[in-house]
Structures are given as structure tokens and as C-alpha cells.
């Protein structure tokens, strides 16, 4: 490496909705040992990198490095940001859960840049045998992983927390100049999950129903929710379009009237009106698990429904229109509605009527699956890891019993 060179940003380009960044810097500082955990990160597994070290770098230190941007395959809705990543700018903002990025590089070291005081990230190198690190609310910082060993590596970064009130920003990944490789190709199969806190994986790591709000960050892992489990089984890319408390026509306890899933679903970020950019996302299967919040709490004075029958009628109509909008956006997708009997008779009757009405209107690629009973022993009576595993298996069994679902979707999309 050549000391004393200050490289300009070469440029930025979108790749599947994310950013392709070039970082420019000089001089690689000596690597020092890092503890297994700190307030910022936790090393969950060393795996094939027993000499792994983790260090926090300031953006001033990053500015002394000679790095090139690692091209990334990004899955999930984001908004690209302009700016110089060598100064902690640029990258992409995200708010929906379950966004993830993958890249390939050669060599021992990688630097990951964040500007996010809200979220947790899981960083995995080389899949199952490799090291895994969780980064907690990194703020405007970069993290350097060293001691990964020589040769080719695959890195994956998952957002595993929920940030319903604001977006976070992932700046990108830098590697020593000349060590970047082309990113992995997107997987052939795509599956989407639309839902509420059950789909997010709210508090799913907890062993107790009583959770303090400040502990939720560390007790939620969207990657371990039922949706990503199903996707991994079928070797599919996935998007998670979910938010805690959201409903189809009524949010939990009547909160934020009108700001329901049909309103925010088309958006790149739930809190911003900008629609998602056109991309190559065309899911083969869309699994929806909605409605528990619509019926979870009694109606209160001032809400627009006279009684539960009125609410159920409105829910059915609203859900049908939402499904028709999804169908227009994704004409080849199979629409699978999931429902739990434990969420009550109004909820179940509405789901049955919705699917029955759609089929009567000629919609052939829609169905209802009754999902298994859950213990709901995690935070605030939400599904536990065991529940998520059980629900995932039910969905896997349903899809495997219909082996043509993937092929039919590909044919309907014209592939």
C-alpha cells in the first residue's frame, strides 16, 4: 500500500436499491486485539477465524486508509444517500426490518461503516463455519474485522432489529484496494412476508413475557422470525414488510388512524411518502399475516366503526383491496394468507370470507393456511423462538406439498 495518497470518491451507483461505494484513503494501521464483547459489539462465534480481532475506527482513522468500496447485493427496501463514504456520508437509509447485504472479497480485513444509533446488525463471514458478530446501535462509526485469514470471503450483514419510528443508515463496506470481488448474484427464488409484530419477530429472543421497553432492541431478531426461516429452507431471498402494531384498517388500540399497512406498504421507508424505486424484486410467493391488531383491543369512543360487525366488514373490504393492489404490483406471485385461530372468531371469519370472495372473483393463486397454536411466551405475549420454528415448519410443509408453486410463479412472471 502506498502511504500518503488521498483518493477521491470514484462514484456511487445503485445495485438492487443499495449503493456501490468507493472509499479512498491511505495507510493501514496496526491491528490490535479486541475483547469478545464491548458496549458496541459481541462476537457470537469465532468459527473459522480464531484470530479474529474487532476494532472501532473513527472516520478520521478511516480517512487514513486506502480502501475500495465492496460492491454489494442488497435485498430490502432502501433509499440511496449522496455523499463521501470516506467521511461517513452516503450509503443507504432503511427502516423496514430484515434488510440485508452480501459481498465478496479477498484477504484478511474488512471495514464496515454505519450511521445508525437505532439498530442491531448481524455480521457473518463465510456462512456457517465463519465468525459472527452482532453490532449494537453503532452510531456514526466504522467497525474493522481483521484476522479473517487469507483467500476469498463472503460477508453478509443483516439488520435484525426493528426501527418503526425512524430510519437508520448503512454506509457500506470497504476493503483494501484490489481486494474486492463481484457481489453474489441474487437467488433465483424470492419470497415476501407482510405482517405485524409477529412477522417482525418482536421480542422473540426473550424467555419471559415481561420485557422492559429498553430491552426490546436486544431481544428482537428478525432473522430468527418465521419468514426468514422459511426463506432459508427454500434457498430464497426474502423481504420483510412488517411493523409492530400495524393493521389493515385499524392499528393496535386504534393508534395512528389511517396509517395502516395499505398506506405504508408501497413506500421505500414507512415514514416517508416516497415510493419504492423500481427494481428486480418480483416475489414468487407472498405470505401475509395481518389482522391481529385490527381486532386485538375493544373499539373506543371516537373510532369510525359502530361495533365489531362493522369493523369486520370494513376489514374484509380493506384487505381485499390491499390484496388486489399487491396483485397488480406482482401479477405472478402466489398470495398465501396465514391466520391463527387463537386470535378470535371475528378475525378468523374475516380471513375465510376474504379468500372465499377472491376465489369467487376468479383469483386462482390465493389461499388461506391456518397456522398452529402458539405459546406466545416471549415479550408481551409475542411468539417465542419455538413458536417461530413451528409456524415456519407449517409454511414449509404447505409449500412443499405444492411443489409447483415456485415454477408456476416463475411461469406467470414470464421467466
Q: How far apart are CA 248 and CA 145, in angstroms?
A: 43
pLDDT digits (tens, 9 = 90+) for 53-62: 999 998 778 8
Nearest residue to 228 via CA among 392, 369, 352, 93: 392
Amino acid 36: pLDDT = 61
Amino acid 274: pLDDT = 84
Q: How far apart are CA 190 and CA 412, in angstroms?
A: 14
Give, as one character, the DSSP assignment of residue 222: G
Q: Which of 142, 161, 197, 206 is catalytic?
A: 197
Amino acid 196: pLDDT = 98
| Residues of the chain below pLDDT 50 | 1-35
Indicate the domain borders of the chain.
41-181, 189-412
Nearest residue to 69 via CA among 181, 150, 152: 181
**How far is CA 183 from each of CA 228, 261, 281, rounded to the nearest angstrom?**
21, 32, 17
Q: Active site includes 197?
A: yes
Amino acid 237: pLDDT = 98
Residue 80: its H or E element: strand 79-80
Other residues' Cβ atoms within 10 Å of the Cβ of residue 16: 18
pTM across the whole model = 0.90
Where residue 27 falls (left for φ over 0; alpha for ψ -120 to 50; beta otherwise) is left
Q: Is-contact 17 78, C-beta < 8 A?
A: yes
Residue 351: its H or E element: helix 345-360
Q: Which fold has domain 41-181?
A: Jelly Rolls (2.60.120)
Amino acid 13: pLDDT = 28
Q: Do domains 41-181 and 189-412 have the same CATH topology?
A: no
Kindly state which CATH superfamily the domain 189-412 is placed in.
SGNH hydrolase (3.40.50.1110)
Strand pairing partners for 104? Answer: 154, 181
**How far is CA 107 from each of CA 27, 73, 86, 104, 146, rounded to the nearest angstrom?**
16, 19, 20, 10, 9
Q: How far apart are CA 88 and CA 67, in angstroms?
A: 13
Q: List the alpha helices (DSSP H) in 115-206.
A: 197-200
Amino acid 77: pLDDT = 95
pLDDT digits (tens, 9 = 90+) for 90-127: 899 999 999 999 999 999 999 999 999 999 999 999 99
Amino acid at each position: 500500500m502506498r502511504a500518503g495518497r488521498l483518493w477521491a470518491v470514484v462514484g456511487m451507483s445503485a445495485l438492487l436499491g443499495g449503493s456501490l461505494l468507493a472509499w479512498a484513503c491511505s495507510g493501514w494501521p496496526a491491528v490490535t486485539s479486541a475483547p469478545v464483547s464491548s458496549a458496541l459489539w459481541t462476537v457470537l462465534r469465532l468459527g473459522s477465524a480464531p484470530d479474529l480481532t474487532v476494532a472501532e475506527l473513527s472516520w478520521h482513522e478511516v480517512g487514513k486508509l486506502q480502501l475500495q468500496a465492496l460492491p454489494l447485493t442488497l435485498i430490502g427496501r432502501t433509499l440511496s444517500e449522496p455523499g463521501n463514504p470516506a467521511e461517513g456520508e452516503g450509503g443507504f437509509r432503511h427502516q423496514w426490518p430484515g434488510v440485508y447485504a452480501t459481498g465478496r472479497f479477498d484477504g484478511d480485513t474488512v471495514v464496515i461503516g454505519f450511521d445508525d444509533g437505532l439498530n442491531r446488525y448481524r455480521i457473518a463471514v463465510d456462512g456457517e463455519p465463519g465468525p459472527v458478530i452482532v453490532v449494537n446501535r453503532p452510531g456514526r462509526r466504522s467497525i474493522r474485522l481483521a484476522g479473517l485469514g487469507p483467500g476469498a470471503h463472503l460477508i453478509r450483514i443483516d439488520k435484525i432489529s426493528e426501527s418503526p419510528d425512524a430510519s437508520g443508515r448503512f454506509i457500506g463496506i470497504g476493503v483494501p484496494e484490489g481486494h474486492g470481488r463481484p457481489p453474489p448474484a441474487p437467488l433465483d427464488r424470492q419470497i415476501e412476508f407482510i405482517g405485524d409484530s409477529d412477522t417482525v419477530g418482536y421480542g422473540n429472543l426473550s424467555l419471559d413475557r415481561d420485557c422492559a421497553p429498553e430491552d426490546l432492541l436486544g431481544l428482537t431478531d428478525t432473522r430468527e422470525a418465521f419468514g426468514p426461516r422459511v426463506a432459508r429452507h427454500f434457498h430464497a431471498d426474502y423481504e420483510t414488510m412488517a411493523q409492530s402494531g400495524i393493521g389493515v384498517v385499524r392499528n393496535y388500540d386504534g393508534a395512528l388512524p389511517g396509517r395502516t399497512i395499505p398506506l405504508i406498504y408501497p413506500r421505500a421507508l414507512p415514514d416517508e411518502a416516497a415510493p419504492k424505486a423500481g427494481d428486480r424484486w418480483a416475489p414468487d410467493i407472498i405470505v401475509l399475516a395481518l389482522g391481529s391488531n385490527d381486532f386485538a383491543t375493544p373499539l373506543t369512543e371516537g373510532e369510525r366503526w359502530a361495533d365489531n360487525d362493522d369493523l369486520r366488514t370494513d376489514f374484509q373490504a380493506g384487505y381485499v383491496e390491499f390484496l388486489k393492489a399487491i396483485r397488480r404490483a406482482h401479477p405472478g406471485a402466489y398470495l398465501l394468507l396465514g391466520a391463527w385461530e387463537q386470535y378470535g372468531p371475528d378475525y378468523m371469519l374475516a380471513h375465510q370470507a376474504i379468500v372465499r370472495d377472491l376465489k369467487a372473483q376468479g383469483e386462482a393463486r390465493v389461499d388461506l393456511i391456518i397456522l398452529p397454536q402458539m405459546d406466545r411466551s416471549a415479550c408481551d405475549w409475542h411468539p417465542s423462538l419455538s413458536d417461530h420454528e413451528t409456524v415456519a415448519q407449517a409454511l414449509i410443509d404447505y409449500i412443499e406439498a405444492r411443489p409447483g408453486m415456485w415454477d408456476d410463479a416463475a411461469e406467470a412472471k414470464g421467466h
